[in-house]
Amino acid sequence: MNSPAPFSLARVVRRHPAAVGFAGAALLLAGLDALAYKQVHLLGQVHALRQHDGEEISAMLLRGPALREESEVLTAATQRIEENLVVETNLAENLWYFYKIEEDTRARLSELRQLSAPLADTGSPYRTIPYSLKLTGTYEQVAAFLHRLETGPRLTRITSFSFSRNSPDSPLVALDLGLNLLGRP
């Protein structure tokens, strides 16, 4: 009896060369197809990213005029702040600011002192210059003085205040005020 011959690849190739060639080509094409699928998938992701970037750039270009306008407003505001900063060593000009408000509102400053400023942070472009003042006048005069401080060109932060009437039958009121003005270091 004849026993079956062991499997031999060489024998299959000799007996069916076209089938082996087609099978090899099919395997090669399947590998190339998988590689192409991966490349198409990666290109799709890159395309989606580029499309998103393009949409953002397009939106930014549409906002361009508004951004320029906002930039101009910010530049003007920064310039206004810089022009109105207090210089600690310029005592006469600093006190004149308060005396000018006193003259305009007719409230009377009985005491005005520029206090020594705290040490400024070396990296900060600004520092606070503290003041202490006492004024008297009618309620309207004192309120007008306070309003002018709050809305004037110099940036003011009120740190403390005390408001009282001089006497029960007098129309005059007194205001003790502690405040900081924004200044240069």
| Mean pLDDT value of segment 146-168 | 90
Q: In what order do the strands lie in the sheet with 108-114?
A: 108-114, 127-138, 172-183, 156-165
pLDDT attached to residue 65: 81
In DSSP notation, 51-85 reads HHHHHHHHHHHHHHHHHHHHHHHHHHHHHHHHHT-
Q: How confident is the model at residue 55 (pLDDT cuts 50, 70, 90)?
A: confident
Read off the amino acid at residue 141.
Answer: Q
d(CA 139, CA 171): 7
Q: What are phi and psi of 171, to 5 degrees?
A: -80, -5
pLDDT attached to residue 4: 64
Full-prediction pTM beyond 0.85?
A: no
What digits encode the pLDDT tens for the residues 69-86?
A: 888 888 998 888 888 888
- The mean predicted confidence, pLDDT, of the chain is 86
pLDDT attached to residue 160: 93
pLDDT attached to residue 96: 93
pLDDT attached to residue 60: 79
CA distances from 146 to 93, 100, 120, 122, 141 (A): 19, 13, 27, 32, 9
pLDDT attached to residue 109: 93
Of the chain, the percentage scoring pLDDT greater than 90 comes to 31
Contact residues for 172 (Cβ-Cβ < 8 A; gap 6+):
136, 137, 138, 165, 166
For 118, the enclosing helix (H) or strand (E) is none
Q: Distance between terminal CA atoms of the chain?
A: 111
Contact residues for 1 (Cβ-Cβ < 8 A; gap 6+):
none
pLDDT attached to residue 1: 53
Query: For 123, which DSSP code?
Result: T
For 157, the 3-state DSSP assignment is strand
Count how many residues are written for the chain: 185
What digits encode the pLDDT tens for the residues 89-123?
A: 888 898 999 999 999 999 999 999 988 877 766 67
Answer for the pair 183, 146: CB distance below 8 angstroms, yes or no: no
**Per 3-state DSSP, what percentage of the chain is helix, strand, and coil (rounded to 5)?**
55, 25, 20
